[in-house]
Structure 1
Amino acid sequence: MTVGQDAEPTDEGNPTSVSVATTASTLPRRLVELDTPAPVVELPRLNANLARAATIADAAGLSLRPHTKTHKSVAIARRQLAAGAAGLTVSKLDELAALRAADAPSYLLAYPVVTRAKATRLVDLLQSIPADLQVGVDNPAGAAALSDAAQYAGATIDVLIEIDSGLGRCGVPPAAAADLAAALLRRPGLRLSGVFTHAGHAYRARDGAELSRIAQQEADAVRYAAGQLRAMGVACPVVSVGSTPTFLTPVDRTGITEARPGNYALLDRTQVALGVANLDQCAFSVICTVVSTGPGRAVVDGGSKVFGLDQGAHGVSLLDGYGEDPERGAMLSWLSEEHGVVADPAGRFEVGDRLRFVPNHACATANLAGHLYLVDGETVVDDVPVDAPGGGR
């Protein structure tokens, strides 16, 4: 991921010297021409990550339904579908509305819908999407809101029961799946299609053995819940797991039908710390420029508004610093909003130098970016929007 130090000189009045990608004619064609901070996705690495996931899913007999929260980009979602993904996962209705343009054959909204406003909007979106749509449910109140909206619109909503496989966030315990299923079956307008879980507690794993245990726990939890539903006569065709570190960890997934990793497409320092990726597999990085130097430090033009402040997930800190340039040996030691400070006791870096940082958390960094440059080596191939930036509704 070598980054040139300076762009070649251009004529002062030449409009092609402007490094703002607004149209195809003004898109910089070389990496050194990008103004910074520049969020870049290296296409060879992205393609390799997508192919790796497809191979893992095929070998395990799983459908792949990647979570788009990692990139929130229609362009990247289309690449995932072209690489064999059977559908897409989204977190918020804004993501669903934006990712409709990817034309996936099916979508899963893996987030509780509990208010009338959201249930009504969901039904409106359902009627405008020429694709299958499933919605996660983990409580009777959410089921009631969905049922009322479905009945009012004369629609049927496919729902999946969310299972808590150990994260302790959303979802019911596996043993409680049958009780919630009974409540759902009494609600008109809802069709119970299966169960799903997210083993987010994998991000707390301290070693490979613990990660393997959590990955197996994830599969066991939904497999047990599916058995409970089938015992009461529910077919339960969908038995879904989702987490990049558990997906990339080999375990017994007999009876699991699909996986929903998200971060696998880009990867980041967190996945490296968990042992499921290497830095040279990380497809996403941010090019920054050194804007100031001082005793023992260099300051770049990317701070917390570019990288976020993640040093781990779900309350556990796994990482030192906030981003790493593996080729130049630079670490973002601390951040303010617009500045990133690199420890530089040897005075290696000068004003104008460009550093390329792999972020701690690709999902948060891409969400803050607004757009992504797709690059192949030193060539800028495209500039694509992050189609659903921000927290969303």
Structure 2
Amino acid sequence: MIKDAPAILENIASTFKGNKAQKSALDMLNEVGLPHRKSEAYKFTPITSLLEKNIDFQSIVADVFDADKLYDEAGSHLVFINGELDIEKSTIADALKFEVAEVSEGKHDPFSLLNAAYAKEEIRIESGYEEPVFVYHFNSNGFTNPRIKVNVKDGHTFRIIEKLITPEEQKTFTNSYIDFNVGKNAFGYHTKVQNYNAETFSHETVVAHVSRDGQFYNNTFSFEGAMVRNNLTINLEDENTEGHMYGLFLLDKKSHVDNNTSVDHTKPNSFSNELYKGILDEKSTGVFNGKIYVRQDAQKTNAFQSNNNILLSEDATLHTKPQLEIWADDVKCSHGCTSGQLDEDAIFYLRARGIKEKNAKAMILKAFAIETMQHIKVESVKEEVQQLVDLKLG
């Protein structure tokens, strides 16, 4: 990692009020710096320079809560206002065990260290709770660092749905971090809906550690944002573990979405499946960088990765880089990517049956996208994603 962006780090340094663990994270961050274009992991997403130009790290934030944005579903609803949990606005079931604590540690990449250093609190959730947990981030102008740790107990299922809400014309940078520890024979489900305004910048880190016979599912749906970077890491740390990743980025205008994924197979008989699809229009930009690691001890691993894309405009840009690194012998692994335009033969077939061209294109695109929605477990969330897809496709 190349040292860079002292202007950002110096600009926010005056707001530092952290504990010993946060000071350690800040020291590490100052050592490694923030990435710029010469950093391979951020080659197509110049996040540091964009933040320098667009975000006021000293701005005064306001309460922008909007109750109409909450899902009408049973379960717990955790409301964050500018990075802090608002207990009064939240609805928390008695069965959900959680605590508001000090930040305990900082690790991983520079933006996770940035989150650890400047998070105002660390929300710790321990599941033995079957109803979904909805997490809402209401942000106004400025810089926020929501931080959540989830412990899915052995034999339990935990579902969390997360989304960020920012009023129009508010310039924000949200640097979120969520860490899952999935116990033995446990199931963790995480779904994100990213339909931001044109002034929203976000860097969102999700890390999952999966124990024996455990499974973790991530669904990420991206529709708009000035710049959205998703870092997803799944560590399959024992035998018979599974990691599933599904993503859809359906972009137009000048939206930029960068999906950076990693799954690490460390023990035998593990399985991972990754499917990301992109539909890009106008001057939007999509990035997919997916890595699969199969360690020497991870025999009998099955790992599959696919990224398929449709470009609707000559001005749209796509960068895709699927990668495999395999040290084991007895494995089944595959990866691939495709990119192209709409199938003219399919459009002709539908038009020959009396369907208007615009509707024919929308039908084909929706059929292309729908596979990524199969694993949404909460009905109202699935309906919202389907409505956003329909709206984008006209």
Q: The TM-score by the shorter chain falls in which range?
A: under 0.3
Determine which structure has greater relative contact order: mean sequence separation of CA pairs < 8 Å that are 6+ residues apart, divided by chain length.
1
TM-score by length of 2: 0.25
TM-score by length of 1: 0.25
Q: Which has the higher helix share?
A: 1
Larger radius of gyration: 1
